[in-house]
Structure 1
Amino acid sequence: MLTLKINTIEQSASWVKRHARPLEVARWEYEFEEGSQQNVMNYLSAFQNEDGGFAHGLEPDFWVPHSNAMATWAAGRILIELDARADHEIVQKMVTYLINTSQKSGMWASVIPENSDYPHAPWWGYSEDAQNNWMFNPSVELAAMLIHWSDEEDEAWQVGWQSVSKACERLMAAEEMDFHEVSNFKQMTSLLDLHKKVFKNQTGHDYNVVLEKVKSLILHSVEQDPTKWGTSYQPFPLDFIDGPNDPLVGEFETLIDQNLDFYINEMSDEGIWDISWEWGTYPNEFAISRRYWQGILTVDRYKLLNRFERV
């Protein structure tokens, strides 16, 4: 079992503080150096528009300045990471945005037309049938966030459950699913774990049955041969696992330790990780995006290594 050394951690911290976005620097300091939650909030708020939605390349593969569901989802994950309170101004504005942009389908638009007017990876370009590819990515997780930050009498509660109910219909009928969307369903189950008793009344599906279906789709999507890891754009077991107490830990058994070893072995000499994809267009902007992603990956993977006591 591999464990990172103190000098490696210090090297990684130095790289993050030199090259990552201020947001990732603040997240690093919050996670590992007793930095403040408010400092992260301050930098995150720079990506939030007046309508409460997020944009401006928060998800670094598309740079549209108009509020959109995908950037708002990326912000929501950071807010969950911070255990942000429902009454925080950033959260309240985000909830208002999601209520105002909710659709009868239960899905928020994953890609907006304006994406194509700004630097972006090819898969973020807009087309009229784009939602057929994205489906409930990230809508089901956004819906769970609404429920997480609301009470039964709130409009957000109703909007959230309506979306989760429709998403569960898709989930239970699916034989396979894109791993990004499966990840959204996995996070939905984590966020709604405290609402197991009302889950069936709201969706018509038993929470534990839904969780087992999510697990089966994850097991189907993950490459379980470690010798093939890193050879293509694919999900790792740890892409779906938050820590040692995650309900998926028992499903992957020894693969988790192998995944942690893989992360440590794949770390660069600078103490960071690189991405496995390219845009093929906008070369100057992609170079910036790549650097942003390196910072994000470094923070996210160190969090996992820390939770599994590898640092």
Structure 2
Amino acid sequence: MKLSKVDYIKARNFILTNARMIERRLFEFYFENGDNTGVFHAVYAYRNPDGGFGHGMEPDTASPESQPLFSVMALETLDEVGYLNADLIQKDFMPYFERITTENGGIPWMFKPISSYPCEEHFKTVKEWAALSTTAPLLGILEKYNLNLPWMKKAEQFVWSEIDRIKEKHVFCYLCIPRWLMFLKYTRNQEKAKQTIHDLKHWILADGVLCKDLSDDGWGLYGKPHSLNYAPSPKSILSPIFSQETIDADIKTLINRQKSDGRWDTWYGISEGTKLEWAGIQTLSVLKALKHYDRIEK
């Protein structure tokens, strides 16, 4: 099954009229031959003088303060479109990350906002200790660009210890697992990485991880993943664990869940505006996956 031309145009128009600038520039990059410079400028609109990124780069908070997660997201986006390089990482990103590194070598996931800007409740109660979901992708990116910084030694010790500690506890979170994979793909300790990837495959296929209730409004969202959340491309490290039948079924379900205005929805959002922003993020994510699997009519 493929997304029809008509429904693709609906999705395109939804993004271009409702999504944030960053999703619009990413859409142009992936689907309309846009250049990565536009993506760079959209990402850097979220950058603060301290070198970190804030200003609601994830729409669950409008707080302007720099956040570790948002700064990692900025790195991931620039890497995704081929704009990142070693000099940029060292000059624009590492001073901030080094400044917020904890004693055990990792960086926190988030800090509690100190301003009175609106945000989801889980940001107000966030634990400010080091996290695997931010430290691992940062370390993976540093390895990918062949950087060898003193910061990396203790960070790597932290990441391996957290992988051993957490094990399958976060496997339900399809936002965390790709960040593990960035590290596992590029770490120099490939023997350990291969074993961890093997374990991940086993944990993901365990009963109760994938959401099998196709009528569930949360299907494919946080905590209720499907196969494409873990394998958004046939080239994904985890794609071999899913049968073609499973991939095809999830693609069909995904296409059928498109709304009449072209969007794919989420239940996230602290306002009607941020719900549209999340829908823009989700719609772009779906279109990218469908493109990777060649499931959009030409």
CA contact (8 A) 1:141 1:188 kept: yes
Q: 1:89 to 1:264 in 2, by over 3 A?
A: same
CA contact (8 A) 1:243 1:304 kept: yes
* Amino acid of the structure 2 residue aligned with 1:38: T
* Amino acid of the structure 2 residue aligned with 1:209: Q
Q: Does 1:247 align with 2:246?
A: no
* Amino acid of the structure 2 residue aligned with 1:160: M
Q: Does 1:268 align with 2:259?
A: yes
Give, in angstroms, the shift of residue 213 of structure 1: 2.1
Give, in angstroms, the shift of residue 169 of structure 1: 1.9
CA contact (8 A) 2:52 2:68 kept: yes
Deviates most, 45-54 or 221-230: 221-230
1:225 paired residue among 189, 202, 212: 212
Q: Does 1:7 align with 2:6?
A: yes
CA distance in 2, matches of 1:51, 1:96: 9
CA distance in 1, matches of 2:147, 2:48: 25
Q: Counterpart in 1 of 2:30?
A: 31
Q: Counterpart in 2 of 1:282?
A: none
CA contact (8 A) 2:19 2:280 kept: yes
Q: Counterpart in 1 of 2:136?
A: 140
Q: Counterpart in 2 of 1:306?
A: 291
- Return 5+ residue gaps in structure 1 as ranges: 280-285
Q: Counterpart in 1 of 2:281?
A: 296
* Amino acid of the structure 1 residue aligned with 2:212: D
Identity of aligned residues (%): 20
CA distance in 2, matches of 1:19, 1:287: 11
CA contact (8 A) 2:269 2:278 kept: no
CA contact (8 A) 2:69 2:110 kept: yes
Q: Counterpart in 2 of 1:165?
A: 157
CA shift digits 1:158-181 (9 cap, x unpaired): 423432332222323445312476
* Amino acid of the structure 1 residue aligned with 2:257: E
Structure 1 segment 269-284 matched on structure 2, within 5 A: 269-277=260-268, 279=270
CA contact (8 A) 2:53 2:67 kept: yes
CA distance in 2, matches of 1:83, 1:45: 15
Q: 1:173 to 1:188 in 2, by over 3 A?
A: closer
Q: Counterpart in 2 of 1:193?
A: 185
CA distance in 2, matches of 1:181, 1:140: 15
* Amino acid of the structure 1 residue aligned with 2:273: I
Structure 1 segment 178-189 matched on structure 2, within 5 A: 178-179=170-171, 183-189=175-181
**Please, what TM-score do these two structures have when normalized by structure 1?**
0.83
* Amino acid of the structure 2 residue aligned with 1:10: I
CA contact (8 A) 1:137 1:180 kept: no
Q: Does 1:86 align with 2:73?
A: no
Deviates most, 161-170 or 72-81: 161-170
CA distance in 2, matches of 1:217, 1:117: 40
CA contact (8 A) 1:51 1:93 kept: no
**Please, what TM-score do these two structures have when normalized by structure 2?**
0.87
- Return 5+ residue gaps in structure 2 as ranges: none
Give, in angstroms, the shift of residue 80 of structure 1: 2.1
CA contact (8 A) 1:70 1:138 kept: yes
Q: 1:10 to 1:88 in 2, by over 3 A?
A: farther
* Amino acid of the structure 1 residue aligned with 2:31: F
Q: 1:178 to 1:8 in 2, by over 3 A?
A: same
* Amino acid of the structure 2 residue aligned with 1:236: H
Give, in angstroms, the shift of residue 182 of structure 1: 6.6
CA distance in 2, matches of 1:90, 1:270: 39
CA distance in 2, matches of 1:245, 1:112: 34
CA distance in 2, matches of 1:43, 1:36: 12
RMSD: 2.6
Q: 1:164 to 1:217 in 2, by over 3 A?
A: farther
CA distance in 2, matches of 1:24, 1:43: 9
Q: Counterpart in 2 of 1:210?
A: 196
